[in-house]
Amino acid sequence: RTEIKIEASSFRPSSATLEIRVPLRTNLELGSVNGQTITVENVEGEIEIESLNGSVTLTNVAGSVLANTQNGPITATLPRVMADKAMAFTSFNGKVDVTMPGSIKANLKMRSDNGDIFTDFDVQLQQAPPGGRTTRSRSGRTQIEVNRSIYGSVNGGGPEIELRSFNGTIYLRKGQ
């Protein structure tokens, strides 16, 4: 296993741009801070992305994806996925727009606090797991945390795919 670490630092937003070419079958762990867009094209493998104040665009990637951004949209197109890997696409302030193969077998966990959820898939809605958590503060108040996620399965279910945005719409599209 070969591991390569590349870092670039700049105090000016959008002043450092890296273009890295890798073999088709490559696992990637990528991160950015303050306005840099992460774009991945034509890669197969396990992809893990963490972005602060930037967008994430994945085009024609295959395998599994864990993508998170705090302030920006996530757009991903996956023509093939790993059948046994959970995936997650989360943005605090931005839309999450993911296209998956029409034949994918998955259990879905979807939530948008301030946006809508749209999908082309025939989702079999499921009961949310028993939830809620109670915590008591120092002042003696009790807080009850409620699970507001939507759960469902497509094509009989499989690994979990989480799609989450606090301030943005979620799109789960059916690809070819």
Q: pLDDT per residue over 65-95, tens digit each?
A: 999 999 999 999 999 999 889 999 999 999 9
Share in percent of the chain as helix, strand, coil (round to 5): 0, 50, 50
**pLDDT computed for residue 132 by the predictor:** 64
Among 87, 91, 118, which residue's Cα sits nearest to residue 104? 87
Contact 176, 101 (CB under 8 A): yes
Query: Model-level pTM?
Result: 0.85
Report, as ranges of residue numbers, the positions in the chain whose pLDDT lies below 70. 1-3, 7-16, 130-133, 145-147
